[in-house]
Amino acid sequence: MRTAEVMMPMWDWRFGGRPALDGLLLGLALLAAEAPAPAFASDRSTCKYFSQLPDDCAAAEQRKFDNLRGYRFEEIDLYARDVIKKVVYVSIYNTTGQNDGDDTRDSAPQDYAAHVDPKKVAKKFQAVAAWTSPPRYWAVDWLADRVGAVRNFDGLDAAWMGNGPAPESRLSAKPPSDAYRMEWFPRTAIEGFKKGAKVYLLDDPKSHTWVLTAYTGAHDTAVDDLDSLGDRLKLPQGWKFRSVMLDKELILEAKGGYAASTQDDKGDVYHLAGPGQSNFTP
């Protein structure tokens, strides 16, 4: 039996992890009393999982990725059930830095990514289920996190980037939509946007600000055309899309050990900004 320590996913995880509070509408207030416990408590209670999945966090090392904006990547998630805790968890793998991506800025070449078969992947790694994200592009300028062992998924290399709890609903044939839903996840990754960069934001009805960290190519949006993204979104009532130019560097870092994310109806990923989540609110 192998053990796997929880290291925080890059985005949250879907890129960035799977939340224990999956399914809560983002319209709900982020009540402090309902927020997850600090990271050190999480580490002690959920750091180790026991299953047949590879233990790919053992040799994880800190790494920083620069010049990421517009860089293409993909995520592969392996789901398992902890045989002791009897809970579902996910091991997250990311192609960033693999498949010659540092040279081509495409770490998920279509010729390889299109042939990744989740069923074959699940069987190979003895996972209860496997999931592959759509190819996405980073909207951040840099990222720092723990990076573990590299695995090959039907020809596509991806590095371990974290473990985390996952709800039972992720194992269903039709998992619930992530659009405009709050997702809490344990997090060690730090994301940065340079001074002078343009950032893309969602403001929800509760005055929370969410920063775009990764976007899909499904809606033919290039990084230079994201200003018009808001016109294509089906925003819930009270939500607003906007963009701003940064007059200082924006750093997303979960001081309490947990971050929150959401997605829009196009599959683009946003992380929460504000007190305890970033150095300022744009």
Backbone φ and ψ of 40, nearest 5°: -65, -35
Q: Which residues pair with 61 in a beta bridge?
A: 147
Residue 280 lies in a domain: no
Residue 151 lies in a domain: yes
Intervals of the chain under pLDDT 70: 1-47, 218-224
Give the domain extent around 136: 2-272
C-alpha 261/C-alpha 272 separation (Å) is: 6
Q: Give alpha helix (H) positions in 117-185.
A: 118-124
* Amino acid 163: pLDDT: 85
Buried b (16+ CB within 10 A) or exposed e, 129-159: bbbbbebbbbbbbbbbbbbbeebebbebbbb
Q: HSE of 254 in the Cβ direction (CA atoms, 13 Å)? A: 27
User: What pTM was computed for the model?
Assistant: 0.82
Residue 257 lies in a domain: yes
* Amino acid 227: pLDDT: 87
* Amino acid 218: pLDDT: 61
Residue 115 lies in a domain: yes
- Over residues 117-174, the pLDDT tens digits come to 999 999 999 999 999 999 999 999 999 998 999 999 999 999 999 888 888 888 887 7
Residue 246 lies in a domain: yes
* Amino acid 164: pLDDT: 84
Name 270's Cβ contacts closer than 8 Å, sequence gap at least 6.
Answer: 201, 202, 210, 211, 212, 213, 261, 262, 263, 264
* Amino acid 186: pLDDT: 80
Domain count, the chain: 1
